[in-house]
Amino acid sequence: MADVQIHYSETGANLYMLVERVSDNKVRDVVAGAWDTFAVADLGDYDTAGAETPAASYRYLFTFPALAAGDYIVKIFRRAGGAPAIADLLVGDGLVHWDGSAVMQLGTVDSTGQGMSMAKALEVAVAILAGKASYVSATGVWTVKGRDGTTTIYEGTLASQGGRTASTIS
């Protein structure tokens, strides 16, 4: 399965991908199947070839390596010669979140640690700013309604000190 794709301005290009771990900027050595401190001499051990699919489409697909879930930097280079070289042109790069089996859209990642994606957190924040939140002090329950004003998109219980103790995300 191709997990990373790039559209490039040239058909028939020889593109390859490098993967770096965000936490320590180690590069994935695909030959050794391990993380490595970047070394120019080992550049040929880091590359994963891309394939233009379908042919003459300007669309290049790359298979992300089997890695633990986490955040990774992906860099795509255009190979000028027969082997990867430090002078190869960087044609694209970006941050990806890998869930252990697929690249995820960053808006779907649990960015709060509480089961809420960034997209949902923004939706709740906008609803609160729009005055669609209510709080019942007797029960400690606060409720946030969606754009329609009736659909509950978030409900949580606040402890006496104001900390959240339980929540339901819809």
pLDDT tens figures, 116-169: 666 777 777 888 888 888 888 888 888 888 888 888 888 888 765 555 555 555
Task: State the pLDDT at residue 78.
Answer: 97
The answer to whether 73 and 95 have CB atoms below 8 angstroms apart is yes
In the chain, what are the domain boundaries? 4-104, 118-169
Which pTM was predicted? 0.67
CATH 1.10.10 fits domain 4-104: no
